[in-house]
Amino acid sequence: MSNRVTKDSWNASLYDQQHAFVSHFGGNLLQWLALKPGEKVLDLGCGTGDLANQMKQMGATIIGIDKSENMVQQAQKKYPGLTFRVQEAATMNYRNEFDAVFSNATLHWVKTPKQALQSIYQALKPGGRFVAEFGGKGNVQKITKELIHQLGTSYQTEQFPWYYPSIGEYTSLMEQVGFRVTHAQHFDRPTPLNGENGLRNWIEMFAASMLDGLTTESKERIISESTKNLRDDLYQNGTWIADYKRIRVMGVKE
């Protein structure tokens, strides 16, 4: 899910072709959710709808939301029987409606985490659960350090596109809005990227806003230099491996 406010730069077809690992990994998170048939679930940051569809097949009623209109259109095209809406975490306005709010690979785009958690809490029925996984402290640090190094003085810290909290920070915010936190993990998840151009494609898809405002030539130089310098560290046995670090949390609305 994109939290960039100015434009919808997501290419949903490319996302499905090159970055399908995002929802594949999310399948593991469904085990934490432990859905029961008939439950009503909000999929927050549904992307192109694959996990929403899996949850529907488990017997749940799903509403999938995403800030990106392109993603929502693609999700609706792939899964016409499901309900998808263009909405975002911090401003959605559901009240006591869901048995669970599920979110995979989205909340690192939300730079107003407390407002998002308030909206999530409000959307849940009493006793409802919130299960999420996203980038945690130190996520993709090798990649971002190299990009920042290449950007040099033209880089401003506000350009950093993500929010990567520690579990201490995030679970405190969860408690502040009223959740009882039942589970939290912060773990390394080295993530293989597709193909010889995997790292380049990842940067172009996910880190594009760090390069906003540069000429095409400068962007090309930064991406080429970065991939060259990161090769020793992140290219192993013919595959690019991104240095993902995830947090996973679960909390109950009391």
Residue numbers at the binding site for ligand BEZ (CB under 6 A): 105, 108, 135, 139-140, 162, 206, 244
Q: How far is the CB of 66 from ligand BEZ (least distance, A)?
A: 14
Q: How far is the CB of 210 from ligand BEZ (least distance, A)?
A: 11
Strand spans (E) along the chain: 40-44, 61-66, 83-86, 98-104, 124-135, 179-188, 191-193, 235-236, 239-242, 245-253
Q: Which is nearer to ligand BEZ, 108 or 253 (CB)?
A: 108
Distance, in Å, from the CA atom of 207 to the CA atom of 144, rounded to the nearest integer, reads: 8
Q: How far is the CB of 64 from ligand BEZ (least distance, A)?
A: 17
Q: State the residue number with the nearest CB to ligand BEZ.
A: 135
Q: How far is the CB of 63 from ligand BEZ (least distance, A)?
A: 22
Q: Which is nearer to ligand BEZ, 219 or 245 (CB)?
A: 245
Amino acid at 215: T
Q: Which is nearer to ligand BEZ, 121 or 130 (CB)?
A: 130
What's the DSSP call for residue 43? Answer: E
For 102, phi then psi, to 5°, come to -115, 140
Q: Which is nearer to ligand BEZ, 170 or 244 (CB)?
A: 244
Q: How far is the CB of 101 from ligand BEZ (least distance, A)?
A: 18
Q: Comparing C-alpha atoms, which of 83, 127, 134 is closest to residue 113?
A: 134
Amino acid at 134: F
Distance, in Å, from the CA atom of 151 to the CA atom of 218, rounded to the nearest integer, reads: 9
Q: Which is nearer to ligand BEZ, 99 or 133 (CB)?
A: 133
What's the DSSP call for residue 69? Answer: H
Q: Which is nearer to ligand BEZ, 65 or 193 (CB)?
A: 193
Distance, in Å, from the CA atom of 108 to the CA atom of 88, rounded to the nearest integer, reads: 13
Q: How far is the CB of 105 from ligand BEZ (least distance, A)?
A: 4
